[in-house]
Amino acid sequence: MSNEKNIFLVHEWLLIEKMRGERGGQRKQVYHVRSYLNRKTDELEKRYDWVRSLREIRKLQRDLPIVDAEIPIRYMKCTPMREMLAALGMAFFSGNQEAPTGVDPKHWKHNIRLAKRLLKKARLTKARWDLGKICSAIIPRRRAKGRARQILCGGAQAKWTCRTLLLFGYFVNGQKVTRRRTFCSDACKMRAARGVQ
């Protein structure tokens, strides 16, 4: 409680990030940004909350000042977590569940078992077999704000990271991804700490 008393909300706004690709395509990310003052350290801290609901965006647009930012889309290297998701999705889609090169067979078997469990839970039958649906179904969800959600790399700091969906419970690069994990890799953790895109 004492920590909450020392943190004050200074300013809040709506950040609409327009990302323009090389081929002229455009997509938007909307964040509810809050700026806090920490009385103990005299430092300003920013918190970025990704707003997904259209209803919530409209409500916030009425109540808050809007800042538009246009940034070019930069194509990042494929992260090990994305590679694992692609390999698992392809294994179920093609029916070939052999371990890919460079992946420990024990870890691969564990990942296949976990993905099968999630596919069964999603009630995805072979009649509706679609690579996109398979990949979406095998991504674990975590309870956040009363709902089971897929968690992005960086969480509240996702603005500065690669936005990879975290594969909780799977083995990636020889390590199990635990529920305490916030970033997909050390590179993303450092990027978020520096505030660099």
For the chain, the structural domain boundaries read 2-72, 80-194
Contacts of 162 (CB under 8 A, 6+ apart): 76, 79, 153, 184, 188
Per-residue pLDDT of the chain (197 residues; tens, 9 = 90+): 445 567 777 788 888 877 655 444 556 778 888 888 877 777 777 888 888 788 888 888 888 888 776 655 555 567 788 888 889 988 988 888 888 888 899 999 999 999 999 888 887 766 667 788 888 888 888 776 777 777 777 765 556 567 777 888 899 888 888 877 777 777 777 777 776 55
Euclidean distance between the first and final Cα of the chain, in Å?
33
pTM value is 0.55
Question: In this structure, what is the dihedral angle of CA atoms 156, 144, 152, 119, given to the nearest 10 degrees?
Answer: 180
Burial of 134 (0-12, 13-18, 19+ CB in 10 A): buried
